[in-house]
Amino acid sequence: MRFKSTQNIFKDFGEVFEQSWMDSNKVGMPPKTEWDYSRQLQIEDVDIWEVIYEQGGAVGVYAAWSPYAEFYMVRVGWQKEAQGYGVETYYGPGAQKQVQNRMREMSIPFSVNQTWVEPENMWLYK
């Protein structure tokens, strides 16, 4: 798994990584906070994104990690001045299916894994 901050995605192309994550046999990941869905999440609200897919400067697909929510961002193009870029977001119930459909349209490979969902969060996946 790879993680990026919003700044990493839009400005400096780095990654969120801590050397200490390599100190044990456990998978190291940044802390995750839950979103309360009290309002619609915006790109600016997300501190850390999980990288779902990136293709060298052409496209990126990301899922909100902190705060953790059904919120996805698709970014096409990296250099605004050179080629332009577009940003699409998908939020809330059905967002996972919407971003999967968008990835299919763009011929982006992805795999679907079974995910445990707490009963109180099932409304996001129906």
Query: Among all chains, which residue has been given the structure tokens 């990136």?
Result: 54
Which tokens belong to 102?
């968008």
pLDDT on residue 18: 67
Residue 115 backbone class (left: φ over 0; alpha: ψ -120 to 50; beta: rest): beta
Check if the beta carbon of residue 52 is closer than 8 Å to that of residue 65.
no
- Residue % of the chain over a pLDDT of 70: 79
Q: Residue range 50-56: average pLDDT?
A: 88
Any idea which residue has 């839009």 for tokens? 10
The CA-to-CA distance between both ends of the chain, in Å, stands at 26
DSSP readout, 95-119?
HHHHHHHHHHHTT-----------G
Instruction: Give the pLDDT confidence score for residue 11 in this predicted structure.
Output: 78
Nearest-angstrom CA–CA distance, 22 and 77: 32
> Model confidence over 84-120: pLDDT tens digits?
568 999 999 999 999 999 999 988 888 776 666 677 7
Write the pLDDT tens digit of every residue in 13-33: 777 766 665 666 776 788 889
pTM of this prediction?
A: 0.78
Q: State yes or no: pLDDT of 66 exceeds 70.
A: yes
Residue 41 DSSP class: -
Torsion over CA: 36, 40, 41, 45 (sign): negative
